[in-house]
A and B are shown apart, each in its own frame.
Chain A
Amino acid sequence: MTLTESGLIEADVLERVLAAALRSGGDFAEVYAEDRAMTAISLDDRRVEELSSGHMRGAGIRVVSGETTGFAHTADLSEEGLLAAALAASAIARSGAGGRRQVALSESRATPPNDVRIHPAQVAKAAKVELLQRADDVARSTSGSVVQVSASYADSRRRFLVANSEGLLTGDDQVRTRFSVRCVSSGDTGLQTGFESEGLTIGFELLDGDTVERLTNEAVRRALTKLKARPAPAGVLPVVIKSGSGGILFHEACGHGLEADHIVKESSVYAGRLGELVASPLVTLVDDGTAGPNWGSYAVDDEGRPARRNVLIENGVLVDYMWDDMSARKVGRASTGNGRRESYQHLPMARMTNTFLLQGEEDPDEIVAQTPEGVYVAALGGGQVNTATGDFVFGMTEAYMIENGEITEPIRDANLIGNGPDVLARVDAVANDFGMSPGTCGKDGQSVPVGCGQPTLRVTGVTIGGTAGA
């Protein structure tokens, strides 16, 4: 299928709109047009509350003139609608030298990183609903202490094209499917929660076999385990983080700080440090938009640049940052395929795709056995970072004490806080059991799907934000 066959906008219309966008000046113009359809189903309190379908299409037009970007978007994909948006986007470029510009588009396609076997749109709604009821049944039959279950299913298909004044015309067709389960348990210590989810850039085959049972059992186990949890310690302890438990550690500790916009503006602790040792030599960090069906994968980014595998930190040495087109232009280099946007209503910026720490050689059980005292984090929630100071937090949603080299009592939810470069330097053990998980990353008001990964690893000291004396 060619892009224009997808019915979004014809190539000759795009050429005219791009030419119009530059008529009053400007160095660069771009049209990003998108059609997105999604299904979301929620089950809560024993009931499928509703099945919700959504559909949006529209285009965002960007005009760059020197250091200034003008942007406008429209839901009207007719030539008239696009020309009006082009005019609005170019308003800021009025002062520049105008003139007639010809744009000739040449279409290119990138290979998608994975196949979609069962397209969700071709699956009966009833089959999707049945999954949620199964999650509810499984959770409630496991234990009488499970007092509430909510589950959600979501699929989306996002087709877009990008055309720019340099003649680029490309696009992508991205399918994502996700399932998550949340349980509430009740006991002598009050209420507790357990959560688990899986999301991949594939179709309904995500839910083949016993996926629903596996995710549900994991959420239930977490909620029940925490009923016996004692307050988390307050203070600095060694922390062992389980493989695939979120990988959010690196996403927050350095991922955001390696995004080019923070580098160009010198608002990152990692700015100006290329070639320097910024982490323990055990740390090799990669951002890879081509990493199979992981949650952050795609064929081309939202500026039309092919996704790539980019090594960011190699054996502790800072090798490169993640670049979007606009930041790359400012320093005269090429994009690394990290320009992403939430939708046609947003401007792209440098974002992560699938960011992960390569595995090491140690046995994960051995790492725990060699930790006399500490905390074992089996599941992480979200996190947040201040890229300028490097301070970051991340939440633990399933964790235990480590005493004499053994995992012992569970502890209650708390945030951990650390400073990026300091924590990276303190990684002193990396295991051979790599795992990934999906997440939603928020930056500057825009959310995009990302993958996070890591093997089991140990950090010699992190501040644990609990309430008990450590």
Chain B
Amino acid sequence: MPELVEIAKAIAARASGGEQIEAYLSTGKETEVRSFGGAVENLSSAESAGVGVRVVKDRRQGFAWVGALGQAAAAEALAEARDNVAYATEDAHAGLAGPDGWPAAALELWRDELAAAGTDTKIAMALELERQVRSDARIRQVVRAGYSDSSVEWAVANSLGLAATSRRSTCHLFAYAIAGEGAETATGFGYSAGRAPSDLDVVACAGDTVERAVRMVGATKPKSGQLTVVLDRRVTSTLLAVLAGTLSGEEVSKGRSLFANRLGEAVACPGFTLVEDPTNAAALGASPFDSEGLATRRNELVEGGKLMGYLYDSHAARVAGTASTGSAVRGGYRSTPGVGARAVALLPGELGQAEILARVGEGLFVQSISGVHSGVNAVSGDFSVGAEGLMIRGGELAEPVREMTIASTLQKMMQQVTHIGSDLEWLPASAAGLTLAIEGLSLAGG
């Protein structure tokens, strides 16, 4: 088969008479191995491919996708997308992204080592991970333990002359285990992520899983009250991903952002600097191009607490009268591009987690949260999530607590950050994790 980008260009080249065409293609290979009870529970191997075509004509857009590659699939997607154009509302800002001259970063996101790794190696890692977790006498059950990987190649080309292609490999180890019995039951989830098997750390993943489960055994429901929370790195990553969503230029122009019309204002505490930088190869979400084919770039969102800018794809940028920030993302060939972040991070502070706990003195260390999709309203800013973790007493982690919520508003939380950790870690998410302390949250328990 010819290179993906050549197929994309060939589809885009079929634009005629005032038509703009964009083709997005991807192919992926995935493997997943799960170990249970010392044997392979599942071994899945999958290859998938598809094409999505956007057509813009007379200021209207149509889209269609087909879950296959090849002449027939491309022809079907193009014909359907053309047919769909007529049904969209005319939009003065409709159109594809044009070349903007921004140079793409050279990023090494692909490792041949992953493609070369045999199934036996992957199975061995999954089995060993389960064995290590299970070997701890305090663990009652290893519900899930395994290895997964994904190798994706994608290309996008349009009739305005943009063409981009990139590939990436990623792999993970994951384990979910139960410690304790009856009402004392507790669970822990651990993982390790990288671009090739040699990046993965079985010992650390197993240790993390065990520690998180074991330290929660015997957790009780705490009393309600106001307190300072210290967020585990993973929890901070989830929070930052939600925040980045509110800084989408598309949401701003559609009146759905709590940060609309606030450029230049102090929206966070002075130490709060938030940057989106997909050109940082250390980020697992890094990419040299965005999903419309423009080069990605570093975008400062908040600097020293002051709101500096929003993220844009080409459409949102035209609506706002500005330029794309190279922030188009898409969920694969099945969807049209929208605005999104790939690699958001807070500028790290100077203190490690232990030092932050010591300075906070009394409060709650949040190990994990639940119900983000049901309890965080990115439009109103209301924030309410289920939480479990450990009380902080005398500057150290103390007794475990669960079945509680922590609540505030996103607006207040950004202002009430008291410590930003130095322990930045890129997680398999669109935002980096680090320890974060925020005061004045409401804890609802017994």
Query: Which residues of A pack against B, CB within 8 Å?
Result: 41, 43-58, 66-75, 88-89, 91-92, 125-126, 128-129, 133, 147-148, 184, 186, 190-193, 226, 232-236, 265-267, 269, 345, 347, 381-384, 386, 388-389, 391-395, 412-419, 463-470
Contact = CB atoms under 8 A, between A and B. Distances in A.
Q: Is the interface of A mostly helix, strand, loop or mixed?
A: strand
Interface in B87-101: 87-89, 91
Contacts of B381: 190
Q: Is the interface of B mostly helix, strand, loop or mixed?
A: strand
Given A52-B63, A71-B44, A232 B384 contact: yes
B80 interface: yes
Given A71-B42, A235-B444, 12 more contacts: A52-B335, A52-B336, A73-B46, A234-B443, A235-B224, A345-B46, A389-B186, A389-B402, A393-B375, A413-B375, A414-B384, A467-B442
A92 B42 CA distance: 9
**Contact residue range for chain B?**
35 or more
Interface string B308-346: 000000000000000000000000001110000000000
A67 B37 CA distance: 9
A269 B185 contact: yes
A191 B67 contact: no
B408 A69 contact: no
Given A49-B61, A52-B65, A393-B374, A148 B256 contact: yes
A126 B83 CA distance: 11
B243 interface: no
B375 A414 contact: yes
A415 B48 contact: no
Give the residue among B42, B61, B186 with the most A Cβ atoms within 10 A: B42
B361 interface: no
A466 B442 contact: yes
B43 A68 contact: yes
Contact of A466 (B47, B61, B87, B384): B384
A266 B140 CA distance: 10
B15 interface: no
Contacts of A46: 89
Contacts of A72: 44-46
Interface of B: 36-37, 39-50, 54, 61-68, 76, 80-81, 83-84, 87-89, 91, 119, 140-141, 143, 178, 185-187, 221, 224, 253-256, 258, 334-336, 370-371, 373-375, 377, 379-382, 384-386, 388, 402-409, 442-446
B380 A191 contact: yes
Contacts of A55: 64-67, 76, 80
Contacts of B402: 389, 391
A52 B63 CA distance: 5
Give the residue among A133, A234, A468 with the most B Cβ atoms within 10 A: A234
A412 B119 CA distance: 51
Given A265-B143, A383-B371, A393 B379 contact: no
Given A47-B91, A267-B178, A415-B371, A465 B46 contact: no
B374 A381 contact: yes
A50 B86 CA distance: 9
Given A75-B67, A91-B43, A193 B377 contact: yes
A72 B443 CA distance: 46
Contacts of B384: 232, 395, 413-415, 465-467
B143 A267 contact: yes
A463 B405 contact: yes
B380 to A, nearest CB: 5
Contacts of B44: 70-72, 347
B166 to A, nearest CB: 22
Given A52-B64, A74-B47, A389-B185, A465 B375 contact: yes
A393 B370 contact: yes
B66 A56 contact: yes
A469 B225 CA distance: 8
B50 A393 contact: no
Contact of B377 (A75, A413, A465): A413
A395 B224 contact: no
A129 B84 CA distance: 11
Nearest to B66: A55
B41 A69 contact: yes
A384 B44 CA distance: 26
22 contacts: A43-B89, A46-B89, A49-B88, A50-B336, A53-B80, A68-B40, A68-B41, A69-B43, A184-B255, A184-B379, A190-B381, A191-B256, A234-B407, A347-B42, A389-B186, A391-B370, A391-B388, A395-B374, A414-B375, A414-B382, A415-B405, A465-B444
Nearest to A67: B39
Contacts of A54: 64-67, 334
Contacts of A413: 375, 377, 380, 382, 384
A351 B418 CA distance: 43
Nearest to A390: B185
Nearest to B406: A465
B405 A193 contact: no
A57 to B, nearest CB: 7
Contact of B49 (A44, A75, A89): A75
Given A70-B43, A184-B256, A417-B404, A91 B119 contact: yes
Closest 3 CB pairs of A and B: A465-B405, A395-B374, A56-B67
Nearest to B140: A266
Contacts of A43: 89
Nearest to B63: A52
A245 to B, nearest CB: 13
